[in-house]
Structure 1
């Protein structure tokens, strides 16, 4: 059984490593090897504080364990899913053992095994007896994280369809985003707290060792002290925990298939609709508000946006920096627009109701009003509370100017992108348990995030001018400019979205239902077409798109914009910012050069993704790139037999 499942998984991985997915796998493997090498290097570090190396290793293993736990949320679902074997007459424990053996065949498992070699290195440096204990401890730790990931995936699939599970999903997903973009702040916090000099506190040191991820370190250190009862007890506890997880997982495989959870509600007894809630637009608004509160996917999107904004602003508090607190409110609607822009794809084929009733304009406006009523009060409350807590009085004109401009711009862009950049995904009644196994909007979301910042430019220009001229009246003029900009953009982009939905509604419905445009030879600018056909890219071009998104983001934000802000504010948090390690004149040059490099890579990714750069070069035929361009009017016919 194990051999068959391993060969099956290898065949699936080999056949699925195409284009962008292969590039993501290679890039993920490279980053994983880098992190594993850093973990091994930590075991070789010579620190003066006794026990600090063991504490750092236990903390690092805790991070690896958390990574395996949130792997299913991040999209790391197993290649061989349990439901694929539901109809086979197999014993559940035998199937669990076979799937467990197949789980060890993969890039993530190999990378984690390399990282856990650091425990063997730590044991060898401690002595001969700890070295002998470290080998089974590292092996048991690897089995533990793999089993924990499988059990977490099973439990997550059971609760993902409820609103509570959707809220947890949003918080975890936002946490992963915050750590991915701002994890360097934790390094600054460690350096700021002088952990490398003073060591961990007794409470923290005990906590990281009590958790199962630190039991391997406990076993090795106890063997080094000659405390064999504690060493063997830690090893036995780790093995017993593995057996318990295996039993739990095998029982979960036997769980009968259940219907999807339904969030029930009732509108009986509701007062008559008046004002904003009346008419066709009011009906759509009421429907959208209930959807935001009841649909688990909408709950995930709303919680992700709020948790991301709060986490991004609060993370610098780990080293007593309040500089990002005033910007939490203005940033919240930007992320909300990024999360919620693909609404028509998420609703699936229910779009035909809107088209057959002729309520396209009311549908767009109702969705916009629902977005405002959901995120407007939250944006206002976060802006006021965080700015007041920061104590920065100079930030009030900025927040008053940027928050309404970004909120209104996000309302308009959300509606416009939902119609013009729709990405088809599974219909609402066919949604998988994993919230990330849906429409792939990575490229569109990256582009929309930066476009959503543009509405703030007029108001920011007014506040900047008032600051330079030391004019309070001009600084506060940014607030009405921001409100006017937000209202105008929301109405204008909403009107364009409604017109596009009216003109191209049937084509959008076809795209949502089938996952492909109505005609691969037409573009979205031609009449009767709702979306541009996705260009067919070569493997090299798909890899280029993925690499451009990754390195464009790295060059633009952490190596360009953030160092520039640090140089302007006089902060000295070097961390991994290249510009801050250079001499004074060249640090400005490096930060300034990284910004256009990042923008150029973003432009390259967008052009390749949209197919606009697929033109024959001078003196070269289209066949040179593997593309054959037929002349217009060419009639493809089979050759007649001779």
Structure 2
């Protein structure tokens, strides 16, 4: 059974290694190898107390285990899915062993094994006997993380269907985003605290060894001290935990018997006569508010920007800095726009009801107003609490001017992107368990994040002049300018989106139903352009933010932090110019990435994808 499944997985991987997917698999493998090499390098540190090295290794092993747990949430769906074998007349435990064997064939498993070899390297420094104990420890540790990932995938598949599970999923996704972009702050906190020389506290040391990811390390350390009962207990406990995880996972491989939660409707079905629910947009607003409350995917869309903004602002507290606290609200306003960049795609083919009733304008305005009612109060609370907590009173005009501008701009730009760049996804009742397989909105989210900064330019210009000339009138005059900018952009861009929806609604519905446009063409993009685009986005982000903007913030705040910022290691006269050059370099690399990503050499429409435009209404009427 295992051999058949392994060959099946290899065949799928071989045939799927094409285009952008192959590129991202290679990039992910290279990043994984770098992380594994860093783990091995950590086990070879000289000039550091061996106990500190062991503490760091235990913490890193915990991070590897968490990576395997979060993999299903982050989009790392397995190649051989359990539901593909649900109806086979194969014993569940036999199928579990086969799928487990196939799980060890893959880039992630090979990279993880390379990282876990650091335990053998560290044990060899202690002696021959600890090195021999480390060998079964590495094997058991690898089997444990693979099984833990499979069980986590089954659990998340059930939990993600509820609103509570969706909130947890959104929080985990946001936490991963924060660590990916700002993880260097944790390194700065560790460096500033001096624990690399003085050692970690007993609480930290005990915790990272008490969790199962540290049991193999406990066995190695116990072998070094001659505590053989603890060696056997650690390895036997890890083996027993593997058996329990295997039994638990095998019970989830049968036919799914998960019932969907039934959510009762409102008892009050009377139409509203006034207030927000009045007018043609009132029923649409009520429908949208209920959707935001009931749909787990919408719940996830709320928690991702909130947790991301708070996590980004609170992370500098690890080295006693409140510098980013006032900017949590503007950051939340920008990221909230990315959460509504595919509202029509999330609703699936329900778009046909809006088109048949001719309620495009009311529907879109109701969506915009619901977005503002959901994120407006949250953003206001974050703005007041975080700014007061920071104690930086000079930031009040900035927060009060930029937040409404970006929030209103997000309402308008999000509505427009939802119509112009719709990403088709499954209907709500057909959504898969993986919360990230609901339509690829990466491009829309990136557009919203960067485009969401543009509405702050008018107010930002006044704030800049007011700060330079120390003019309080200009500073506070930026507040009504920011509010007016947000209102204007929400109305104007929303109006553009309405006209687009009225003119191209049938094509959008066709896209939702088939996953392709009614005039699909084949685009030939050279591999050189693909690699140039990936390199531009990757190195452009590194140059623009951690090597450009962040050093400028550190220099402006007068912090004594160098970390891995190149500009801060240069003489004082060269620090600001170097940071400015990095910003320009990052912008240029972004330009290269965007230019390389523009499709070229479109070929003639092929097959039935090239239907005449006059046939589209007939296709629409058949829905």
| TM class, shorter-length | over 0.9
- Any unmatched runs of 5+ in structure 1? 522-533, 616-626, 631-642
Distance in 1 (CA, whole Å) between partners of 2:333 and 2:57 is 39
Offset, 1:467: 1.5
Q: What does residue range 230-241 of structure 1 map to in structure 2 within 5 Å? A: 230-241=230-241
The answer for the alignment partner of 2:540 in structure 1 is: 552
The answer for the alignment partner of 1:319 in structure 2 is: 319
- CA displacement, residues 586-608 of structure 1 (integer Å, 9 cap, x when unaligned): 33333222223322333333344
Distance in 2 (CA, whole Å) between partners of 1:610 and 1:510 is 24
497-506 or 40-49, which deviates more: 40-49
- Determine whether 1:605 maps to 2:603: no
The answer for the alignment partner of 2:559 in structure 1 is: 571
- CA displacement, residues 522-567 of structure 1 (integer Å, 9 cap, x when unaligned): xxxxxxxxxxxx8443444334333332222222222221122222
Q: What does residue range 357-506 of structure 1 map to in structure 2 within 5 Å? A: 357-506=357-506
Q: What does residue range 82-481 of structure 1 map to in structure 2 within 5 Å? A: 82-254=82-254, 256-268=256-268, 272-481=272-481
Q: From the superposition, tell whether residues 361 and 153 of structure 1 become closer, same or farther in structure 2 (CA, over 3 Å).
A: same
275-284 or 560-569, which deviates more: 560-569
Distance in 1 (CA, whole Å) between partners of 2:346 and 2:48 is 56
Distance in 2 (CA, whole Å) between partners of 1:450 and 1:29 is 28
Distance in 2 (CA, whole Å) between partners of 1:163 and 1:552 is 37
Give the secondary-structure state (helix, strand or coil) at the position aligned to 2:280: helix
Give the secondary-structure state (helix, strand or coil) at the position aligned to 1:105: coil
- CA displacement, residues 118-142 of structure 1 (integer Å, 9 cap, x when unaligned): 1101111111211111100111001
Give the secondary-structure state (helix, strand or coil) at the position aligned to 2:388: helix
248-257 or 314-323, which deviates more: 248-257
The answer for the alignment partner of 2:575 in structure 1 is: 587
Give the secondary-structure state (helix, strand or coil) at the position aligned to 1:51: helix
Q: From the superposition, tell whether residues 348 and 606 of structure 1 become closer, same or farther in structure 2 (CA, over 3 Å).
A: farther
The answer for the alignment partner of 2:513 in structure 1 is: 513
Q: What does residue range 49-68 of structure 1 map to in structure 2 within 5 Å? A: 49-68=49-68
Distance in 2 (CA, whole Å) between partners of 1:220 and 1:383 is 50
- CA displacement, residues 369-419 of structure 1 (integer Å, 9 cap, x when unaligned): 000000000011100000000000111111111111111111111111111
Give the secondary-structure state (helix, strand or coil) at the position aligned to 1:20: helix
Give the secondary-structure state (helix, strand or coil) at the position aligned to 2:252: helix
The answer for the alignment partner of 1:596 in structure 2 is: 584
Distance in 2 (CA, whole Å) between partners of 1:22 and 1:90 is 33
Q: From the superposition, tell whether residues 270 and 133 of structure 1 become closer, same or farther in structure 2 (CA, over 3 Å).
A: farther
Distance in 1 (CA, whole Å) between partners of 2:255 and 2:87 is 13
Distance in 1 (CA, whole Å) between partners of 2:456 and 2:90 is 60
Distance in 2 (CA, whole Å) between partners of 1:591 and 1:274 is 55
Offset, 1:191: 0.8
Distance in 1 (CA, whole Å) between partners of 2:313 and 2:192 is 18
Q: From the superposition, tell whether residues 256 and 433 of structure 1 become closer, same or farther in structure 2 (CA, over 3 Å).
A: closer
2:341·2:444 contact (CA, 8 Å) conserved in 1?
no
- TM-score for the superposition, normalised by structure 2: 0.94
The answer for the alignment partner of 1:624 in structure 2 is: none
Give the secondary-structure state (helix, strand or coil) at the position aligned to 1:148: helix
- CA displacement, residues 127-169 of structure 1 (integer Å, 9 cap, x when unaligned): 1211111100111001000000000000000111110110010
417-426 or 131-140, which deviates more: 417-426
- Any unmatched runs of 5+ in structure 2? 606-623
Distance in 2 (CA, whole Å) between partners of 1:47 and 1:156 is 43
The answer for the alignment partner of 1:620 in structure 2 is: none
Give the secondary-structure state (helix, strand or coil) at the position aligned to 1:394: helix
Distance in 2 (CA, whole Å) between partners of 1:604 and 1:427 is 36
Give the secondary-structure state (helix, strand or coil) at the position aligned to 1:252: coil
Over aligned residues, Cα RMSD in angstroms? 1.7
Distance in 2 (CA, whole Å) between partners of 1:406 and 1:566 is 25
1:20·1:539 contact (CA, 8 Å) conserved in 2?
no
1:19·1:540 contact (CA, 8 Å) conserved in 2?
no
Could you tell me which of 549, 554, 561 is aligned with 1:561?
Answer: 549
204-213 or 593-602, which deviates more: 593-602
Distance in 1 (CA, whole Å) between partners of 2:29 and 2:327 is 34
- Determine whether 1:542 maps to 2:530: yes
Distance in 2 (CA, whole Å) between partners of 1:445 and 1:600 is 21
Q: How many residues align?
A: 605
- TM-score for the superposition, normalised by structure 1: 0.91
Q: From the superposition, tell whether residues 544 and 88 of structure 1 become closer, same or farther in structure 2 (CA, over 3 Å).
A: farther
2:537·2:590 contact (CA, 8 Å) conserved in 1?
yes
Offset, 1:270: 6.2
1:443·1:606 contact (CA, 8 Å) conserved in 2?
no
Offset, 1:328: 0.4
Offset, 1:437: 1.2
1:535·1:609 contact (CA, 8 Å) conserved in 2?
no
Distance in 2 (CA, whole Å) between partners of 1:327 and 1:541 is 36
Give the secondary-structure state (helix, strand or coil) at the position aligned to 2:426: coil
Offset, 1:465: 1.1
Give the secondary-structure state (helix, strand or coil) at the position aligned to 2:344: helix
559-568 or 73-82, which deviates more: 559-568
